[in-house]
Amino acid sequence: MTSERYNARDSEPRWQRQWDEKAIFASKNDDPRPKYYVLEMFPYPSGRIHIGHVRNYTLGDVLARFMRAKGFNVLHPMGWDAFGLPAENAAIERKVAPKAWTYDNIAAMKKQLRSIGLSLDWNREFATCDPSYYKHQQKMFLDFLRAGLAEREKRKINWDPVDMTVLANEQVIDGRGWRSGAVVEQREMNQWVFKITKYSQELLDALDSLDRWPDKVRLMQRNWIGRSEGLLIRFALDPATTPAGESELKIFTTRPDTLFGAKFMAISADHPLAQAAAAKNPKLAEFIADVKKIGTAQEIIDTAEKQGFDTGIKAVHPFDPNWKLPVYVANFVLMEYGTGAIFGCPAHDQRDLDFVNKYNLGNTPVVCPEGQDPKAFVITDTAYDGDGRMINSRFLDGLTIEQAKEEIAKRLEKEMRGNAPVGERQVNFRLRDWGISRQRYWGCPIPVIHCPKCDVVPVPDSDLPVTLPEDATFDKPGNALDHHPTWKHVTCPKCGAKAQRETDTMDTFVDSSWYFARFTDPWNEKAPTTPDVANRMMPVDQYIGGVEHAILHLLYSRFFTRAMKATGHIGMDEPFAGMFTQGMVVHETYQRADGTYVTPAEVKVEAIGGERRATMIYGGEEVSIGPIEKMSKSKKNTVDPDDIIATYGADVARWFMLSDSPPDRDVIWSDERVQGASRFVQRLWRLVNESAEIAKSAPPARPASFGADALALRKAAHGALDKVSSGIERLHFNVCLAHIREFTNALAEVLGRGGKPAPDVAWAVREASVILVQLFAPMMPHLAEECWQVLGQSGLISEANWPQIERDLLVEDTVTLVVQVNGKKRGDVTVPRVAQNPEIEAAVLALDAVKVALGGKAVRKVIVVPMRIVNVVG
């Protein structure tokens, strides 16, 4: 028996090397076995992996290793989401080229990833900044362009007037440019967009088929797509009040039922009518300029205080020519949605209510909740958007909301003004086309050329890739591609005239919208995919990542897959059959008296008299324990995966990540619990070594029968096998780990009895220890390989088949028999399934119900019908 401790530092690199040398995780596309594609969202090469990565990749790895053992051809690739702003910032701040910075980071992170012991197929690795990858993205852009799925469109962008550059929404902070501090303006510029809205309805409908996606993610997507059924209404304007005799205003409403509660009209600052009015009214022009300063970010627009400007224009109520409504320009009406104009019904819409309360326009409730007295129903600060009956609404009074909507729609559809109806039913989507133009260097160049004669000319396929120049400079603000002395100057491929390359690059979300398809055949130099391979290996069976990507990344990927189908690159609509969103790794925060944060590594936490106290390890200064929060650099509550792996080994880190909470919830990092995981590793190691000793005395052949002790252990083993197998399939990893611990206790109990075990017990110990090691192998693969050897098993456990469950060992241990006295049912009794007749008789005669029924009479006979009935004859 070994008394040596398990040494992860020695063992882990050794097994990683073996896996590598044998390339056992490389999957082949011509493998005839059924495929299983497991993918974790690929990382951005920031330079270091963080603990969230460890959790993400461990979750996927457990599944990948399990499915491999179950006999699937598992595809489990890894790559790098490598374009983006941080590389350019590094270039500005540290004078390193974005490319060098990125590839250095990739090399460092790859080394870190390897130390986690992930069963990845590195043969398929690529970075999205490799020209051999983005070349195909450019090809697809051109395909999309030809298919009408990519277009140029005037779009609003954030413009920094000092740096003379376009800013991403994240670069606008409180309405100012992040670097210059200048007030940001909105400008209209030609931008490239992908026509995702062509698929709005389809992307919505198909959510119903994604039954292995979290409901919350589907709901978020549904809301983002935002389908609304409503009515387009043409309000007449009083031409005497309009800037150029305009005579109507089109609005979109989902609540035509509230038309008699209207108090005002509101139009967007970008609405043509607002523009026309502003041309004659400098105060209005000023107001509009102010509104535009808040940038294009939706959440800022949503949370800004509601503001308006009365244009003096009057609209006429569609059901009352004498009813005039003031037209405001308002900061909460967006030009991009509906018609960019609304009627406001304050009683039933909170924004409208806030607005009228500010401008004293009053409100009239028109929907009364059931059971309320309409005369007493008033609205002050909270709009009522619930159900009810119509009031104060002339011909609608007494109707339900739905009936009223229908009534208004019917009447306005019939009413003609000029040669068009006043009302028209319409379906609107919140989803906008996807603007992909970024005025950045470190991204995939958009492969078109602007010719003064021919306009936009696609780069011929044979000229792809359009590669980034490597000698770009970053000493000026703005787009380094645009500044480059030669890069953009080309001749037109069509007419040969002097022309310019497009200097916009693609949004990095484009790069991540098809990498999963590229992984199926990253070796194809001719085309983005090899369709029959992609069709065989896709969809991803289980995708795993953070919920922060629940909307955009997943929606873009769903669109892109459809667009790839439309252009012949793949044969399916949905890329991810199963989606799992993991929780975060969180940690307490520690703060010194002066408010500065200190890292967990610097503090010692003790529980004294039930109260936890934290002090600085050096100096002993007391620090306050703050709330548990997402690990972040600013709060300094991070732990470094490298430190954890160096101290405890990857297996301990993996085990801890999986054990403490369900994978979709946050896990609180706790040093004590990590140490607990570390002790468990040593315990397993001891138990396996002890088992190996006993196994030596076990008969080679399976005994013909098993005694109670051996049977109990076998049941524990197969019971655990059953529960862990189904647990992994459902990604209930924490539950699996609890079953493994329980089973470990059962084995330890048998080993703890000491003495030389009977042959059947020794055989069961051998079986149990092999099963135990296989059960934790997906979670702690290095320890498992080491144990596999100790147990004298051949080959690598990473290549072994998952153990077979013996189902008859899963049968319940007890049976319940009906108890009769003289043929009449008096109750029942539960006994061990293996119980013999004397034991059953004693249990039955001890029952009060039997004693009562016998009434003191002597028992003449007890008849046991096995597994069914016991009849007491008195």
Binding-site residues for ATP, in ranges, read: 633
Residue of 46, 307, 400, 428 interacting with ligand ANZ (CB under 6 A): 428
Q: How far apart are CA 255 and CA 402, in angstroms?
A: 9
Our finding on whether 364 is near ligand ANZ (CB under 6 A) is no
Contact flag: residue 314 with ligand ANZ (CB under 6 A): no
Size of the site for ligand ANZ (CB under 6 A): 19
Question: Helix H segments across 70-130?
Answer: 85-94, 98-114
Q: Residue 117's binding partner, choosing from Zn ion, ligand ANZ, none, with beta-carbon cut-off 5 to 8 A by kind?
A: none
The CB-of-409 to ligand ANZ minimum distance in angstroms stands at 13
Round to whole Å and give the CA distance between 24 and 18.
9
Matching residue, tokens 């990473």: 798
Which residue is it, tokens 């069961």?
Answer: 764
Residue type, 68: R
Q: Cβ closer to Zn ion: 490 or 550? A: 490
Going by their DSSP bridges, the two strands 341-344 and 367-368 should be labelled as unpaired
Span near ligand ANZ by CB under 6 A; candidates 25-33, 345-353, 631-639, 667-675: 345-353
Minimal distance, residue 190 CB to Zn ion, in Å: 18
Nearer to ligand ANZ, 333 or 472 (CB): 333
**Residue 319 binds which one of ligand ANZ, Zn ion, none, with CB within 5 to 8 A depending on kind?**
none
Contact pick of 495, 834, 842, 865 for Zn ion (by CB under 5 A): 495
Closest C-alpha among 711, 716, 770 to residue 747: 716
- How far apart CA 189 and CA 278 sit, in angstroms, is 21
Q: Does 489 bind Zn ion (CB under 5 A)?
A: no
Beta carbon nearer to Zn ion, 152 or 324? 152
Phi, psi of 498 (to 5 degrees): -65, 130
Is residue 108 close enough to count as binding ligand ANZ by CB under 6 A? no
Q: Which is nearer to ligand ANZ, 233 or 667 (CB)?
A: 233
Which of Zn ion, ligand ANZ, none does residue 338 bind to, with CB < 5 to 8 Å depending on kind?
Answer: ligand ANZ
Shortest distance, position 337 Cβ to ligand ANZ, whole Å: 4
With CB under 5 to 8 Å by kind, the binding choice for 140 among Zn ion, ligand ANZ, none is none
Count CB neighbours of 459 within 10 A.
22
Count of CB atoms situated within 10 Å of the CB of 754:
6
Among 342, 695, 721, 728, binds ligand ANZ (CB under 6 A): 342
The 3-state secondary structure of 701-722, one letter per residue: CCCCCCCHHHHHHHHHHHHHHH
- Identified binder of ligand ANZ from the candidate list 162, 285, 334, 711, rule CB under 6 A: 334
User: Residue 324 CB, nearest distance to ligand ANZ (Å)?
Assistant: 18
Determine the longest span between alpha carbons in the chain, in angstroms: 118
Closest of 270, 140, 223, 19 to residue 796, by C-alpha: 19
295 vs 340 by CB, closer to ligand ANZ = 340
Beta-carbon contacts of 104 under 8 Å, excluding residues fewer than 6 positions away, are: 47
Query: Do 324 and 237 contact (CB within 8 A), yes or no?
Result: no
494 is a contact residue toward Zn ion (CB under 5 A): yes
* CB-based contact 520:575 (threshold 8 Å): no
> Is residue 333 involved in binding ligand ANZ (CB under 6 A)?
yes
Task: Work out what residue 454 binds among Zn ion, ligand ANZ, none; the CB cut-off runs from 5 to 8 Å by kind.
Answer: Zn ion
Residue 308 lies near ligand ANZ (rule: CB under 6 A): no
Q: Which has the closest alpha carbon to 780: 730, 727, 736?
A: 736
Contacts (CB under 6 A) with ligand ANZ, residues 645-684:
none
Contact letters (x/-) for Zn ion, 401-440, by CB under 5 A? ----------------------------------------
Options 345, 468, 644, 761; binder of ligand ANZ; rule CB under 6 A: 345
**In 10 A of CB 753, how many CB atoms?**
9
* Least Å from the CB of residue 483 to Zn ion: 24
Choice between 172 and 492, CB closer to Zn ion: 492
Q: How many CB atoms lie within 10 A of CB 10?
A: 10
Instruction: Return the number of the residue (359 or 576) whose C-beta is nearest ligand ANZ.
Output: 359
494 binds, among Zn ion, ligand ANZ, none (CB under 5 to 8 A by kind): Zn ion
| Amino acid (one-letter) located at 362 | G
Beta strands in 129-245 (DSSP E): 150-160, 165-167, 172-173, 176-177, 185-194, 227-237
CA-based torsion, 458, 462, 465, 470: positive or negative? negative
Residues annotated in a binding site: 633
Distance, CA of 217 to CA of 196 (rounded, Å): 19
SS3 763: helix
What, of Zn ion, ligand ANZ, none, does residue 675 touch, CB below 5 to 8 Å by kind? Answer: none
Scanning 334-342, 442-450, 631-639, 720-728 for contacts with ligand ANZ by CB under 6 A, the matching segment is 334-342
Task: Specify the residue, 23 or 456, whose C-beta has the smaller distance to Zn ion.
Answer: 456
Cα of first residue to Cα of last residue in the chain, in angstroms, is 60
Q: Which does 543 bind (CB under 5 to 8 A by kind): ligand ANZ, Zn ion, none?
A: none
What amino acid is encoded at 745 in this protein? N
- By CB under 5 A, the residues from 800 to 839 that bind Zn ion are none
In the set 134, 343, 441, 802, which binds ligand ANZ (CB under 6 A)? 343
Name which of residues 219 to 258 contact ligand ANZ (CB under 6 A): 226, 228, 252-255, 258
Query: How long is the chain?
Result: 874
To the nearest 5 percent, what fractions of the chain are helix, strand and coil? Answer: 40, 25, 35
How far apart CA 602 and CA 661 sit, in angstroms, is 26
Site track for Zn ion across 451-470, x = CB under 5 A: x-xx----------------
Distance CA 387, CA 370 (A): 8
- 432 or 494: CB nearest Zn ion: 494
Q: How far is the CB of 408 from ligand ANZ (least distance, A)?
A: 11
Joined tokens for residue 376: 């007493």
User: Which of residues 466 and 710 has its CB atom nearest to Zn ion in the complex?
Assistant: 466
Q: Is 57 in the site for ligand ANZ (CB under 6 A)?
A: no
Task: Judge contact between 322 and 238, C-beta under 8 A.
Answer: no
Q: Which residue in 103, 337, 377, 597 binds ligand ANZ (CB under 6 A)?
A: 337
Contact of 691 with 768, CB cutoff 8 Å: yes
Which residues of the chain form contacts with ligand ANZ (CB under 6 A)? Answer: 226, 228, 252-255, 258, 332-334, 337-338, 340, 342-343, 345, 348-349, 428
Which residues of the chain form contacts with Zn ion (CB under 5 A)? Answer: 451, 453-454, 492, 494-495, 497
